[in-house]
Amino acid sequence: MLVIMIDEQLTPIYLKSSLCKTELSGEELAANCVNVLESFGLTKSMLQDKLTGGAVDGAYIHMNINEHLCNNIGIQQNWLKISWDVAHLLELAIDDTQNQKKFNWLQMIIKTCAEVMKKYSYGKQYEFLIQAAEEIQEDILQPKQFHVTRFVSSQLRVYETILRNWKTLYVLQEKDDVNMALSHGDISTRTRQKLDAQQKPGDKDVDSVA
């Protein structure tokens, strides 16, 4: 999506395809940008007169989009200010922070939230979610999943959904625990049986003390 200023109003332009492709050179990328803008009725003469700046992804910066865009449109480089989008920079900083070892606990929380949301997003599990909410008379939000191409606001909606649906999710987990116990028995018993099955003839009893 491009966000441009038209008649002093910020106006979004939704693109048919991604502007930035790895196989494009900086010159080709600039041409692609101009072609998209022209397809929405913004002529080169309009761009020469009205285009003053933009915020882009880091890939654009590394490909010298400012220089190539100015050359394509036919304006001086000091007339156009291209900057690295702050939202993208923040996203990179967040990713770098989360990947540090001291934040493994945060990664575990994110992983758990992702697994829970995925589990109840569709199919029978989604039906169970709706039924459980009706049983305890809770208003819930539709399950949402993380998307690597979206920003923090999208992640926030996932966490908000987890918190809003917490009571219903707790009820479902309790039911899962009961079903697991009925189907497989006490986990400590199963663990003991597994150890007994693995013990070879002549080995010391697992309960014996050396």
Q: Is the pTM of this model over 0.75?
A: no
Give the Cα separation of 14 and 170 in Å (integer): 40
pLDDT in the model for residue 29: 85
For 34-83, write each residue's pLDDT tens digit. Answer: 888 888 788 888 888 888 888 888 888 888 989 999 999 999 888 888 88
Q: Within 13 Å, how many C-alpha atoms sit on residue 190's CB side?
A: 8
Burial of 123 (0-12, 13-18, 19+ CB in 10 A): exposed
pLDDT in the model for residue 209: 36
* SS3 assignment, position 31: helix
Residue closest to 119 by CA, chosen among 161, 68, 71: 161
Q: Can you give the residue ranges of every domain in the chain?
A: 2-84, 97-198
* Tokens describing residue 103: 């934040």
Beta-carbon contacts of 92 under 8 Å, excluding residues fewer than 6 positions away, are: 58
Q: What is the dihedral of CA 97, 98, 103, 104, to 10 degrees?
A: -150
Bridge partners (DSSP) listed for residue 12: 3
Bridge partners (DSSP) listed for residue 5: 10
Cα Rg, the chain, nearest whole Å:
28
Give the Cα separation of 35 and 21 in Å (integer): 15
**Helix (H), strand (E) at residue 187:** helix 187-198
Residue 19: Cβ within 10 Å count: 19
Position of tokens 């008649």? 7
For 100-152, write each residue's pLDDT tens digit. Answer: 888 889 889 888 999 999 999 989 999 999 999 999 999 999 999 887 666 66
